[in-house]
Amino acid sequence: MRLLYLMILLLLAARVSAGNTCGQPATAIASIQGDRDTSPLVGQWVTVEGVVTLDSRGKDGFQGMYLQQADARTDHNPQTSEALFVYTRSAVGTVGHRLRVSGQVQEYHGLTELTHTRDLTDCGTAALPAARQLSLPWPDGQAPERLEAMRVTLAQPLTVTDSYPLARYGSLTLADHDRDTRTQLQAPAAVDRDPAITSLQLDDGKRSLNPTPLPYPAGGLGGPRTIRAGDQVVSLDAILDWRYGAWHLQPRQAPVFRSLNSRPPVPVRPAATTVRVAALNLDNAFNGNGHGGGFPTARGARTANAFARQKARLVATLSALQADIIVLVELENDGYDNQSSLAEMTRALGASWRYVQPDGGDGHDAIRVAMVYNDHAVRPVGRPQRVTSGPFARGSRPPLVQAFRTRTGSDPLRVVAAHFKSKRCQGASGGNLDQGDGQGCYVAARVRATRQLAAGIKALPEVPALAGTLIVGDLNSYAREAPLSEFAAAGFTDLVRHFHGLDNHSFRFRGRAGTLDYGLASADLLPRVVEARLWSVNSDEPPALGYASARIPLAASGDYPWRSSDHDPVIVDVAL
């Protein structure tokens, strides 16, 4: 009996040994992946043998490696993936080696993987499987499940459309081309949302948050080194990975970028210009108590050092504009004394700058619009006013109106500073809810504000010899949305569109670009407008360069305008 028992043990040991021997029969990875989103073998124990294409077991990695069937052992079915993720803490196996491993099949948040691994055997060096070509949009609109965990390369250059996740996750959003917000180019209409498969995340192969240093660009972000939206990835050897509800590219080697959207110089001031007007959303400029304390504030910078970075960046941008009149949007609504944010920003611009001070009517919002001017170039005509009726009477930011003429005595120009309700849906109800037409929440409120502003301008006291009216600011509406149509019906021309068409942008949101910031001229002013442009100094730059990121130092000279805000400034040149 004892002899029979020993023979059975030896037989089982021989079978286990044979099963763990390199080259012995194993489960095909394609049969584990199957041709559906979920593996048909979930929960089963299998033994696989393939080539390690990427090792992600290092510090901050995904605690595993990617294993792909050797080319000679594939099932030749284009609908099934030939690779999977092996979750393991074992140190056995290295890239470019054949690995044999047993484990249990699992779906981890949509990623097919092998877990509870055991009996890992390094079977020696092997040729890497050939990379499959990857292109966007996906053929037939189908998600690329057939390439999950496989080695891929690009069939065409892919464009960076969003760098928002770079600082937090170490990734960039890629698409087949740069994308406009629908209502920038098309009239509002019921539309389906883009499926997630129209874009990819170029990842850094790590699961840690707030990576330091940032993985892109090579050499580190800061100073002259940047990755701008519109740049391209032209060469890539990577693993196509499904994580965090999106398709990711985990590079095997450093990606190769091509700069197609280099940093532009500030638009040249035309010789015919007598007055240049600019507007910039300051991205919540709050100066605490005005004495270096009072942080964190309700919005904006969280510390005094962060505000110092923010102010320096904003002043660099505003000074570079070579403007005579500047509308400031998203400025702290804290009065007009020497400690106010407005007074501090004005002093920072230089001794010749002054700010417009109306007699109240600033509203009850935490932010307001304000206006500053170069006293050497222009002087105010009459008293400033706020439009405080209708929707501006409560829960809104009253527009500011001031007329100016040049120091040489030109016809006056009336400037109106405006900042409409955002698309954020907090508190929205009734007609202010998102109507599903691409305009977001509160479009009804923005339309009411447009009509009230147009009526309020007509009701303003007459200014003798007035050259016309210029509305500038952040209207929180894209070019084809209802508020812009209302302004056009009231006789105001979108100047950037007039000179350069619709294919412009001053803001990016979730990988789509469009204009939220405008210069609008009345019919009598339009013939006097020489030029109108947007300066792409902010919206295409990574948010990681912004004032809130202490990891990116300010340029030593202080002349560092890039990513001073999340909006680009609008510039209007007028001949008076």
pTM as predicted: 0.91
In tens, the pLDDT along 291-303 reads: 999 999 999 999 9
Token pair belonging to 144: 């690329």
Cα separation, 520 vs 472, in Å, equals: 6
Of 33, 44, 115, which Cα lies nearest the Cα of 69?
33
Token pair belonging to 392: 């501006």
- The rounded average pLDDT for each run of 10 residues, N- to C-terminus, in the chain (576 residues) is 40 43 95 93 97 95 96 92 96 97 96 96 97 90 91 96 94 95 93 65 92 89 90 97 94 96 96 98 96 93 92 95 98 97 98 96 95 98 95 88 96 98 94 95 96 96 96 98 98 98 96 97 98 98 85 56 96 98
Alpha helices per DSSP H over 81-236: 166-169, 182-185
- Concatenate the DSSP letters of all residues of 251-262 into one string: ESS--EEE-SSP
> Can you tell me whether residue 315 is helix, strand or coil?
helix
What pLDDT, on a 0 to 100 scale, did the predictor assign at position 17? 39
Of 573, 562, 493, which Cα lies nearest the Cα of 533?
573
Cα separation, 88 vs 97, in Å, equals: 16
Cα separation, 244 vs 536, in Å, equals: 31
What pLDDT, on a 0 to 100 scale, did the predictor assign at position 40? 96
Cα separation, 168 vs 144, in Å, equals: 26
Note the Cα 233 to chain centre separation in Å. 17
In tens, the pLDDT along 3-21 reads: 443 343 333 333 333 457 9
What pLDDT, on a 0 to 100 scale, did the predictor assign at position 197? 56
